[in-house]
Amino acid sequence: MNSNICLQANLVNSQRTSTQTLALDDESREERVSRLYASPGGPLIGWLFDECRRRRQEYREMAACLGVTYGYVNQLRSGIRQARHISDDFAVSCAHYLGVPPVVVKMVAGRIPMSDFVTPREPEVDALDRAMAQMLDDPVARRNLPADMSELTLSAKRALVAMYIEASGRDVFGMHQLPEMVRWLQRAAAIHDESEAEVLRGHRDLAD
């Protein structure tokens, strides 16, 4: 039903013009981010209203597409309700409306803090020592490195590691592992959803 409402709203409003929408098109990326984070209710609500204007919809039409009342959206916008407390179902509806994965909606809403995506701060000297230990595992690099690197200054270690990365292309800091980690997380999420669906089917079978 919500899909039909959205489709009808888009057809009805497709010929409307909006000076405000045209003005938003002239924003730089930095200006838009700053504006969204200053929006009433926070960046998620600002993003939803931007998309609403882009589609040339009325606010109530946007709410219908999201499967909620405009009163609920207005409570989020006014701060009566907090975006970080939105439900999983509403996050999925927002994701569908905005064309992004639900995890992005949860991050922008504040349900998932950005600190969850970074490792605890590691002292630079420890990171460099870890990188140099990997360099010593490379027989070609080992032949060209000083016999005792423990006495090298921090600047010298930085220079050696930088030159090694440039020459070898090796990922001594492990940053290239992140895309693979994300793929594993996506796979884990898919397995979780499949398992959850199987459990629900089992409950229904028992009830029958």
Q: Which residues of 153-167 are buried (b: 16+ CB within 10 A; e: fewer)?
A: eeeebeebbeebeee
Q: Which of 171, 79, 87 is nearest to 127 (CA)?
A: 171
Alpha helices in 112-176 (DSSP H): 124-136, 139-144, 154-168
Over residues 78-130, the pLDDT tens digits come to 999 999 999 999 999 999 999 888 888 888 888 887 556 556 676 777 878 88
**Cβ-based burial of 198 (10 A; exposed 0-12, middle 13-18, buried ≥19):** exposed
**Own/partner long-range contacts of 12-20 (Cβ < 8 Å, ≥24 apart):** 13/55, 13/56, 13/57, 13/58, 13/61, 14/56, 16/56, 17/56, 18/53, 18/56, 20/53
How many angstroms separate the CA atoms of 81 and 109, rounded? 12
| pLDDT band, residue 65 (cuts 50/70/90) | very high
CATH class of 2-116: mainly alpha
To the nearest 10°, report the CA torsion of 101, 102, 108, 110: -150
Take residue 94 and report the two structure tokens written for it.
Answer: 């927002």
Over residues 127-154, the pLDDT tens digits come to 788 888 888 888 887 787 777 777 778 7
Take residue 156 and report the two structure tokens written for it.
Answer: 């010298």
Task: Look up residue 153 and give its amino acid.
Answer: T
Tell me the whole-structure pTM to 2 decimals. Answer: 0.52
